[in-house]
Amino acid sequence: MYHAANPISPPVILGGRRLPLVGRARMYVCGITPYDTTHLGHASTFVWADVAARVLRHAGVTVEVCRNVTDVDDVLTSAARRAGSPYDSFAAVQQFYFDHDMAALGVQRVDHEPRAHNHIDEVIALTQALLDADRAYEHDGAVYFDGERIPAQAGLAPDAARALLAEYGDDPDDPAKRTPWDVVLWSPSNAGEPAWPSPWSSGRPGWHVECAAMAMTTFGPSLDLHTGGADLRFPHHAYESAMAEAVTGVRPFARTWLHIGIVRVNGTKMSKSTGNLVFTADLLRDHPAAALRLLLIGRPWSQDWDYSPTDLDAAATRLDRLHTATGRPSSSPSAETAATRALLDDLDVVTALDIAEQEGGRTARTILAILGLT
Ligand code: ZN
């Protein structure tokens, strides 16, 4: 029988940082834009966030998890239009499938699930605060965040930052921007696009400010842990943090980050345009969900990796070996401690599972229970 109460209170290392935690941890998970079925990259990000929360809970920390839904987004609006559906009902259907996939993968329910369309007032207030702090400017009904310093703060050369801004929809060549590094806080909407009244125009918020507003509404001016896919590091998270810090003065906005490695297929990042998306629901049709979960977490969380269908068969075989190991009669208490400590040392699942498989018995039962692999 697995007991969550852990008598040892070792230091927790997350995102490469020692994270002294007293009582409660505020964790923000950058959630989905519900315009498409869950693919392996999403699944990896959210399963890892779930592992982080479970490991912290095992260490006796009360974890409060907020995972947002970006249901106001131009990519979603276009997808809904192609499907001939209003953006909000389109998002609700995609959200339903997402929830189904998360439940199948053993991702525990989150405490807060803010949706962008419910937080427009907070976005407007944050945008106004940025204008008041002289970190934003208005132009023809649009409001831009002054991002001139952000690429350097993120350690990016101008060309690299520019390419990433363009890739993620923050058009650096928009002539209305004072510098290519500025990003949209508010845009006027055209007919057929979602729109809300604001002091500047009937319009909609940009993506980065939505997350900043939802995170601050849920947790206040700072977070303990922020997670998301590694491809969100810049521009999304760099700008979200900069916006929050500019209005609150609390630095850092997030004490530590887990940027989960990218899943590739045959060396190429999964994307709609290359047509190489691997959908979670398809994999779950003929493989146990726990095998998929093991495939996602049986590696360092920060590492990019390549998916191949044979990996899933190998994960299923390993899961069988781990489950068999749990039935062995006993294991040494020091092995259990070593395996648990590995998890607290920046989520070293690889070491914890190796010890679990080797020692079996109670050690294996404990580690599989913490990781949600039972
Ligand atoms: Zn976000």
Query: How confident is the model at residue 88, as a pLDDT?
Result: 87
E-strand stretches of the chain: 13-14, 17-18, 24-29, 62-67, 136-139, 142-145, 183-188, 203-205, 223-229, 254-260, 263-265, 268-269, 305-307
Determine the Cα–Cα distance for residues 233 and 296; give it in Å rounded to an integer: 20
From ligand 1's centre to the CA of 362, what distance in Å? 38
pLDDT tens for 16-55 read 999 887 778 999 999 988 888 889 999 999 999 999 999 9
From ligand 1's centre to the CA of 335, what distance in Å? 38
Cis bond before residue 20 (omega within 30° of 0): no
pTM: 0.94
From ligand 1's centre to the CA of 217, what distance in Å? 13
Give 3-state DSSP helix, strand, coil % of the chain, rounded to 5.
45, 15, 35
**For residue 4, pLDDT beyond 50:** no
Of 57-66, 272-281, 353-362, minimum mean pLDDT range: 272-281
From ligand 1's centre to the CA of 68, what distance in Å? 7
From ligand 1's centre to the CA of 374, what distance in Å? 30
From ligand 1's centre to the CA of 191, what distance in Å? 26
Q: Residue type at 322?
A: L
From ligand 1's centre to the CA of 82, what distance in Å? 24
CATH number for the region 21-260 comes to 3.40.50.620
Alpha-carbon dihedral angle through residues 369, 371, 372, 374, given to the nearest 10 degrees: -50
Determine the Cα–Cα distance for residues 3 and 48; give it in Å rounded to an integer: 22
User: Taking the domains of the chain in order of start, what are their residue ranges?
Assistant: 21-260, 314-370
From ligand 1's centre to the CA of 83, what distance in Å? 25
Q: How many helices (H) and strands (E) does the chain have?
A: 14, 13
Paired with 65 in beta bridges are: 27
pLDDT tens for 122-167 read 999 999 999 999 999 999 999 999 999 999 999 999 999 999 999 9
| Positive/negative CA dihedral, 220, 224, 225, 231 | positive
Termini Cα distance of the chain:
12
